[in-house]
Amino acid sequence: MSGEEFVPLSLPPLLIGTFAAIACALPGNFLVLRRQALIGDAISHVVLPGIVVAFLLTGAVSTWPMMLGAMGAAVVAVVLIELIRRLGRIEPGAAMGVVFTAMFAGGVLLLEQSDTSSVHLDVQHALYGNLESLIWLDATGWGSLLDTDALRYLPPELPRMGFTLLGVAAFILLFWRPLKISTFDEGFARSVGIPTAALGLALVVVAAIAAVAAFDAVGSIIVIAMFICPPAAARMMTNRLEVQVGWSVVFAAVSAVLGYVLAGYGPLWLGADDAVSAAGMIATVSGVILVLAARFGPCRTRAGAPAEG
């Protein structure tokens, strides 16, 4: 494919998808190790009510209020889950199930009640996102990447996702050591003065930021899939956290690129005319990678790890 077609039509969604996948996979590593994998699931469900409430309050579809609304909903959900878990003495899985389903139901109801049909806001969009539509019409070829005029009309999701990825990566890098210690041994972490509760909340908030930014561009399926599948697959490739995170980034990027390409061109190769959902395909590819790692990964079982150091 020539740059003329690739740069405006495929490059932005590819980059956005890849950034989103990596931004979710990075905190996902810690969530999976902390047995909080389903926090990602909960967050991605409550993003919808957050966005709807923001829309109802501001009366317009504008990015920042909606992002803030989604963030707020994620934090509210995490706090509620924690409250129900502690006050009601309910196991975390059930507490999560209560909170995110109820908030999602509230979101759907608000959405149906309010007049949002005129604007682009519906449940399907929230679930699948619309990666394919994030095109860069002002680009004419590779040269546009240096053309400041054209760059101004990049889809805004691209820089937003890029900055989110930078922020997430910076958080993980900066707090690598306490994150690792408190994930492995919380009691010890507290004894050396690491504020484990605050750090745990910060991790969830960062995951929520990644989820919200990604959700805006690619929908919530990818978010859940990327929180869990790449880190889970990476865990079966290595016994070192540093290496695991590296693998998870690779798997996330491969899922995003391969999923996008398969969704866009796969049906054409099979003789069909129309592309299928890129978000769904990216999730599917990440699942295939997980199956491969679970079947052939060198460290896939607890017992089967190589014996020598």
Partner 1 sequence: MLELAAREGRATTDADLGKSPFAIRGLTVAYGEKPAVFSVDMTVPEGSMTAIIGPNGAGKSTMLKAALGILRPLSGQVTVFGRPLDEVRDQIAYVPQRASVDWDFPTRVIDVVLMGLYRELGLLGRVRMRHMARAMDCLRRVGMHEFAERQIGQLSGGQQQRVFLARALAEDAELYLLDEPFAGVDAATEKAIIAVLKDLKTAGRTVVAVHHDLSTVRDYFDHVFLLNVRKIAEGPVDEAFTPETLQAAYGGRLAISQHDLFSRNRS
Partner 2 sequence: MLWDALLLKLGYNAALVAIGAALLGFAAGATGTFLFLRKRALVSDAVSHATLPGVGLAFIVMVALGGDGRNLAGLLLGSALSAGAGLWALSWLTRHTRLAEDAAIGAVLSVFFGFGVVLLTVIQTMTAGRQAGLESFLLGSTAGMLRVDALVIAISGALVLVAVVILRRPMTMVAFDPEFAATQGISVHRVDMATMGLVMAVTVIGLKVVGLILIVAMLIIPPVTARFWSDRSGRVVLLAGAFGALSGYVGAAISATTPALPTGPIIVLVAFGFFVLSMLVAPGRGVLAATVRHLRYQRRVHLRQGLLALAQGQPVYENLTRRLLRRAGLMRADGVPTDRGRVRAARALLDETRWQAVRADPAHEGAASLYDGLRDIETVLTRDQIEEIDRRIGGPKEVRT
> Considering only residues 121-160, where is the footprint of partner 2 by CB under 8 A?
123-124, 127-128
Examine residue 261 and tell whether it contacts partner 2 (CB under 8 A): no
Radius of gyration of the chain (CA): 20
Amino acid making up residue 102: A
Examine residue 120 and tell whether it contacts partner 1 (CB under 8 A): no
| Backbone torsion region of residue 83, taken as left when φ is above 0, otherwise alpha when ψ lies between -120 and 50, otherwise beta | alpha
Token duo for residue 115: 């007049």
Q: How far is CA 240 from CA 35, 163, 166, 200, 237, in A?
A: 17, 28, 23, 21, 9
Residue 113 to residue 206: CA distance in whole angstroms: 31
Examine residue 191 and tell whether it contacts partner 1 (CB under 8 A): yes
Residue 241 to residue 274: CA distance in whole angstroms: 41
Examine residue 228 and tell whether it contacts partner 2 (CB under 8 A): yes
33/102 with CB nearer partner 1: 33
Cα dihedral: 265, 269, 274, 278 (round 10)? -30
Q: How far is the CB of 274 from partner 1 (least distance, A)?
A: 42
In this chain, which of 102, 145, 205, 254 binds partner 2, going by CB under 8 A?
102
Amino acid making up residue 229: C
Residue 269 to residue 257: CA distance in whole angstroms: 17
Per-residue binding letters, 46-85, with partner 2 (x by CB under 8 A): --------------------------------------x-
7/223 with CB nearer partner 2: 223
Residue 20 to residue 229: CA distance in whole angstroms: 14
225 binds, options partner 2, partner 1, none, Cβ within 5 to 8 A by partner type: partner 2
Report whether 9 contacts 18 (CB < 8 A): no
- What is the separation, in whole angstroms, between the first and last Cα of the chain? 47
Examine residue 83 and tell whether it contacts partner 1 (CB under 8 A): no
Stretch near partner 2 under the rule CB under 8 A, chosen from 63-71, 180-188, 200-208, 274-282: 274-282
Residues of this chain that interact with partner 1 (CB under 8 A) are 33, 174-175, 177-178, 180-181, 183-185, 187-188, 190-194, 235, 238-241, 243-244, 302, 305, 307, 309
Residues of this chain that interact with partner 2 (CB under 8 A) are 32, 35-38, 40-41, 45, 84, 87-91, 93-98, 101-102, 104-106, 108-109, 112-113, 123-124, 127-128, 221-222, 224-225, 227-229, 231-232, 235-236, 263, 267, 272-277, 279-284, 286-287, 290, 294, 299-302
